[in-house]
């Protein structure tokens, strides 16, 4: 045996591999055991967990040199009984969302249950404390482990439940089993014959003129196939998520000026992933270093250099005015003004960005991707290659979390460019640190808010000035600013506003879409002002919200008349008893409300599309709408079952594919349940009519397709209508946070109006995950920058682990009169997060009467001064 080879046992069989290789890479690349995932590569996330001599081990850490004669068990090595129990338990309890963390969770659960078959809640939390989840809030995962433990202890056969798929049923996610067992495919799980690997050479400076790029030494590396530069781009060098504002450089050419450290100067392509960094280090770049603009204040200063051709570096300016705020505030009985400051924050989705592109004969390129819209990717990559969009065939794979962070191009364009130039399959996979450094973040904002009310506690007017750091590129900075402004006054019944917002280019990493889409920031400000007004009035924070809560038929601050589906009052009543009881016990308790639009709105095209086709006796649901963890395929399946009264076993939800599935828009703005859900319902009604005409014999419809689309009609920003329709629907929420005497969060109780609840358990899981994300935003998460350089790693982002997650109680408010679209269902993905942060701030204010107006909050149980 070669001296550099090591023998170990994997799933009971002897194998050998190179001593220098990391265990995770050996499992995934050499043995093709891909259940263990590479989430961070630094031992911080736990997605790669396996058992090493019976103990949980993060497999991205040890090399094989340390594992001679050791026993390794992967998820693939569990017995059929174990796999069956975990698959059912996790599906039954709703433990699976994006699924990327789940195989690692299962292996940690096995290690726990092997040594403790009847663990209590604390033992379960400790058992998975090394495993990170960004979707679920850990509650449902703990439920799944508890259920699995009972099935093992009692030697109970795995249940075989029968589902109708009807609305309101806790139907198992259609992808739960595949994700739990690690058999579902994410892009990095795919391998193609002759596949090359590529990685970007990025700017060493946030702002610098590129004087020279010399690739000669890199090309001489034995593993190098090519080093691509700007001159190799056959089409447009500029792309962008918003087609009319394509300002993102595919590559920076010699003579160009970099805009942040994520800018790409060259793309190195090699035969081996392991030597890509060696090749990249051989690319010589000569710079003229320039002073970066690292704050909106500096960027807007007189004489500041322009990052793009925008006056004063202002990407977008919004000014929303209704009534005369100054005059009304001057007459108000109580007025408060405060400044609020919030940082960039990182999505930290579990799956780092990855794409594979390969030549598609003479037709163009096939792209395997995990973004939030296959048609956005198709359009941008085609623009770069200078070909028709139809020549880029995009096939969506499982998405390991997104939260808005996978709306922009990150790796797809570089994979397509390399595959196009070299006529070979090419994979581009970001390291976790690359992902942190370059993809767009939640916007940092500086905000001045003034809010007034009358002597009875009725809100009268508000003024706000919002300045958002949109970073180096536009991304979705303009729409994010719009949502921050349109939602800034909150879900309350008053109509006098003056909101001025600017999104400003800087040399920081870009700001873009992130769960809440600007509303997390402005809600934090306006809800804290309400607490101060309540104190002036001598009433409770709950009371001021109840007096002003928007009700059906009333007018929102943006002028839109609230529909009959509004249930904010019911949300507040649902949490009232808990809130009052906690106060009566002397506990520090906070409350906040929020609203969030479902759909893009503001007069822009917003269309959901679906095809139902009958193929081999099955009904295929075909829509491009991406599932990023929220369970969209399950939602559409239940809508089809509800409409047609057929069992879910007769339904197949296809993955997104530009040649099979119609364009249903981006998974963003909490829109897919409503828009694609309604398109699916309408297509199902057409199929139902055809089925009735065919004597309910599905076989007679074989090969037929039933297409439907649903378009939301709204009014543009600045409409002169007295009551413009800004968005088709809104969801509403009221959240209560109770603190222990130490300042630790004791419990979070939240009531949500999300319309008709398609799948209660799935909705609860979405909310629990959103609550924990909001808690992190308030207390622990940060994205420090120095001179345009991120000073953070995955393990220092401040993400909350299972042992730190508080108990949560979720109250789903049922609509009184549900009606189409989508049977009255509204999205909850973003709304889940928004009110949590100000509710926590309010609880701390109740505790010590100190307003913490900067995030993450300091002088708390979680973060000292």
Overall pTM surpassing 0.95 (yes/no): yes
DSSP code string of 604-645: S--EEEEEEEEETTEEEEE--PPPSSS-HHHHHHHHHHHHHT
DSSP code string of 147-198: HHHHHHHTTPPPP-------TTS-PPPTTHHHHHHT-SPBGGG---TT-EEE
C-alpha span between 569 and 555 (Å, rounded): 15
How high is the pLDDT of residue 3?
58
How high is the pLDDT of residue 819?
83
DSSP code string of 441-489: BBPEEEEEEEEEE-TTS-EEEEEEEEEEEEETS-TTHHHHHHHHHHTTT
How high is the pLDDT of residue 639?
98
C-alpha span between 74 and 9 (Å, rounded): 11
b/e map 521-537, b = 16+ CB within 10 Å: bbbbbbbbbbbbbbbeb
How high is the pLDDT of residue 363?
81
Half-sphere exposure of 438 (CA within 13 A, CB side): 25
Residue keyed to tokens 């034995």: 222
DSSP code string of 677-716: HHHHHHHHHHHHHHHHHTTT-GGGGTT-EEEEEEE-----
DSSP code string of 239-308: E-SSGGG--EESSPPTT-B--STT-EEEEEEES-GGGHHHHHHT-EEEEEE-----SHHHHHSTTPPPSS
Structural tokens at position 375:
């048609």
The stretches in the chain having pLDDT less than 50 are 1-2
pLDDT digits (tens, 9 = 90+) for 580-591: 999 999 999 999
């Amino acid at each position: 045996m070669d001296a550099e080879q090591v023998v170990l046992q994997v799933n009971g069989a002897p194998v050998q591999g190179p001593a220098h290789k990391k265990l995770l890479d050996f499992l995934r690349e050499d043995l093709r055991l891909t259940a263990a995932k590479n989430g961070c590569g630094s031992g911080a996330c736990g997605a790669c967990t396996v058992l090493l001599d019976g103990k949980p081990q993060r497999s991205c850490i040890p090399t094989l040199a340390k594992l001679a004669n050791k026993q390794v068990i992967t998820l693939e090595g569990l017995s059929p009984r174990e796999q069956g129990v975990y698959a059912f338990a996790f599906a039954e309890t709703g433990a699976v969302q994006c699924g990327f963390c789940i195989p690692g969770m299962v292996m940690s659960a096995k290690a726990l249950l092997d040594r403790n078959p009847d663990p209590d809640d604390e033992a379960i939390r400790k058992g998975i404390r090394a495993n990170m989840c960004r979707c679920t809030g850990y509650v449902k995962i703990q439920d799944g482990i508890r259920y699995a433990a009972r099935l093992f202890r009692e030697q109970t056969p795995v249940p075989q439940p029968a589902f109708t798929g009807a609305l309101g049923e806790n139907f198992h996610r259609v992808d739960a089993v595949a994700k739990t067992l690690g058999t579902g495919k994410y892009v990095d799980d795919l391998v193609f014959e002759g596949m090359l690997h590529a990685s970007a050479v990025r700017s060493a400076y946030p702002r610098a003129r590129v004087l020279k790029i010399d690739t000669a030494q890199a090309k001489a590396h034995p593993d190098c196939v090519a080093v691509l530069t700007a001159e190799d781009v056959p089409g447009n060098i500029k792309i962008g998520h918003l087609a009319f504002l394509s300002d993102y450089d595919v590559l920076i050419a010699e003579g160009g000026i970099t805009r942040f450290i994520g800018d790409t100067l060259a793309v190195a392509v090699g035969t081996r992933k392991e030597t890509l960094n060696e090749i990249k280090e051989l690319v010589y770049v000569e710079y003229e270093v320039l002073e970066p603009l690292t704050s909106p204040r500096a960027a807007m200063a007189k004489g500041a250099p322009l990052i793009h051709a925008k006056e004063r570096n202002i990407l977008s300016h919004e000014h929303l005015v209704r009534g005369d705020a100054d005059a009304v505030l001057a007459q108000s009985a109580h007025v408060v003004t405060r400044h609020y400051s919030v940082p960039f924050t990182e999505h930290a989705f579990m799956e780092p960005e990855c794409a594979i592109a390969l030549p598609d004969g003479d037709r163009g390129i096939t792209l395997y991707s995990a973004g939030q819209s296959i048609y956005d990717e198709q359009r941008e990559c085609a623009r770069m290659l200078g070909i028709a969009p139809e020549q880029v065939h995009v096939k969506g794979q499982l998405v390991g979390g997104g939260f808005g962070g996978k709306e922009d191009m990150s790796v797809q364009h570089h994979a397509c460019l390399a595959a196009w130039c070299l006529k070979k399959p090419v994979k581009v996979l970001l390291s976790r640190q690359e992902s942190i450094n370059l993809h767009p973040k939640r916007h940092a904002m500086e905000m001045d808010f003034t809010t007034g009310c009358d002597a009875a506690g009725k809100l009268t007017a508000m003024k706000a000035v919002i300045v958002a750091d949109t970073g180096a590129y536009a991304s979705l900075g303009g729409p994010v600013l719009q949502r921050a402004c349109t939602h800034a006054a909150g879900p309350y019944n008053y109509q006098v506003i003056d909101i001025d917002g600017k999104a400003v280019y800087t040399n920081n990493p870009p700001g873009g879409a992130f769960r809440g889409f600007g509303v997390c920031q402005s809600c934090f400000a306006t809800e804290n002002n309400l607490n101060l007004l309540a104190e002036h009035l001598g009433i409770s924070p709950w009371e001021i919200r109840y007096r002003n809560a928007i009700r059906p038929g009333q007018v929102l601050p943006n002028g839109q008349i609230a529909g009959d589906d509004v249930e904010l009052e019911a949300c507040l009543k649902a949490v009232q008893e808990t809130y009052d009881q906690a106060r009566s016990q002397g506990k520090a308790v906070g409350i906040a409300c929020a609203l969030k639009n479902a759909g893009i709105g503001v007069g822009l095209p917003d269309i959901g599309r679906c095809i139902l086709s009958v193929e081999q006796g099955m009904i295929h649901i075909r829509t491009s709408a991406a599932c990023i963890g929220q369970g969209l395929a399950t939602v559409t399946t239940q809508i089809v079952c509800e409409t047609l009264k057929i069992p879910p076993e007769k339904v197949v939800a296809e993955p997104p594919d530009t040649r099979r599935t119609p364009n249903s828009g981006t998974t963003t703005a909490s829109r897919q349940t409503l828009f694609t859900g309604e398109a699916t319902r309408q297509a199902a009604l057409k199929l139902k009519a055809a089925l009735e005409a065919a004597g309910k014999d599905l076989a007679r419809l074989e090969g037929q397709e039933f297409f439907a689309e649903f378009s939301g009609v709204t009014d543009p920003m600045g409409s002169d209508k007295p009551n413009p329709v800004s968005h088709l629907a809104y969801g509403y929420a009221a959240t209560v946070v109770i603190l222990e005497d130490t300042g630790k969060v004791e419990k979070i109780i939240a009531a949500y109006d999300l319309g008709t609840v398609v799948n209660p358990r799935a909705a609860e899981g979405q909310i629990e995950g959103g609550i924990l994300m909001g808690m992190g935003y308030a207390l622990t998460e940060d994205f420090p920058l120095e001179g345009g350089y991120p000073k953070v790693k995955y393990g220092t982002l401040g993400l909350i682990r299972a042992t730190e997650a508080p108990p949560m109680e979720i109250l789903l408010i049922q609509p009184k009169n549900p009606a189409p679209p989508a049977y009255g269902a509204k999205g909850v993905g973003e709304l889940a997060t928004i009110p949590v942060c100000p509710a926590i701030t309010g609880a701390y204010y109740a505790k010590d009467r100190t307003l913490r107006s900067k995030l993450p909050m300091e002088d708390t149980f979680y973060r000292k001064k």
